[in-house]
Amino acid sequence: MPVEPPPTIWEFPPPTRFHPADDLVATGADLEPGTILTAYRLGIFPMPIGGRRAPMAWFSPVRRGVLRPGDFHVSRSLAKSARRFEIRVDTACAEVIDRCADPRRPSGWIDAQIRAAYLRLHELGWVHSIETWRDGRLVGGLYGVAIGGLFAGESMFHDETDASKAALLGLVRLLDDGRDRLVDTQWQTPHLATLGVAEVSRDEYLRLLPTVLPTPDADFARPCPDVHTSPELRRGP
């Protein structure tokens, strides 16, 4: 079970104060575990902008990317290529975050303070990594925050074709347990749309949150329930 941290000392603005055409809804605060978890429960997430000395920026996108686990689209080519990989859960979270934070990647935003904050949440049981391995090498993966039935995806990477897609496939198979769950991808991209990620308005997303947050926490220790159409999942030590 995740460890609930002390409550935040900060108060986020209510949705009535969000600008209707701006994804940025607040600046400032800190990255303590209680602050970050409070933000996610309100449909808000942190993302640094403006350099190291700038205050933290908090976003609630006007148009949000969401994925119901049962809506994930597994193409024939992905089902075939996924068999080449081994999917592990929570065996290399720090390395996944570091690979996602590679400064050579375009639009990189994961800095040292974000890394430290999410590793601390990982230690408390709130952040999980889904990793794609091949021949003993980490070749892809993703990480995100799990609160009840919400999995808020933060970032993913791949070194081999379909390695990040296989990680997402592993995640949705793990989450697809018949309960009310939702994967938040923050924004929809053309690539994510091909995988089944839909776009909803901010108001609709905020209406969805109260329906998924009370769902019991997903069991990130359980094996993948369908090994014939997805990679095998292995729990970390």
Q: Cα dihedral angle (202, 203, 205, 208), rounded to 10 degrees?
A: 170
pLDDT given at position 229: 46
pLDDT(221) > 90? no
Mean pLDDT across the chain: 91
Per-residue pLDDT tens for 78-128? 989 899 999 999 999 999 999 999 877 666 789 999 999 999 999 999 999
Give Cβ neighbours of residue 210 (< 8 Å, ≥ 6 apart). Answer: none
State the fold for domain 15-61.
Answer: Alpha-Beta Plaits (3.30.70)
Among candidates 213, 219, 142, which has minimal Cα distance to 182?
A: 213
Q: What is the location of CATH 3.40.630.70 in the chain? A: 64-235
CATH of domain 64-235: 3.40.630.70
pLDDT(179) > 60? yes
Average pLDDT over residues 144-169: 96
The residue behind tokens 């379909």 is: 162
pLDDT given at position 235: 52
pLDDT(226) > 60? no
* Bridge-based pairing state of the strands 127-134 and 24-27: unpaired
Question: Would you say 163 and 87 are in contact if contact means Cβ atoms under 8 Å apart?
Answer: no
Per-residue pLDDT tens for 34-72? 999 999 999 999 999 877 778 999 999 999 999 999 999
What's at 225, amino acid-wise?
Answer: P
Q: What is the location of CATH 3.30.70.3550 in the chain? A: 15-61
List Cα–Cα distances, 12 to 27, 28, 39, 80, 145, in angstroms: 9, 10, 7, 45, 19
- Enumerate the H helices of the chain as residue ranges: 33-41, 76-82, 93-100, 112-123, 163-175, 190-194, 202-212
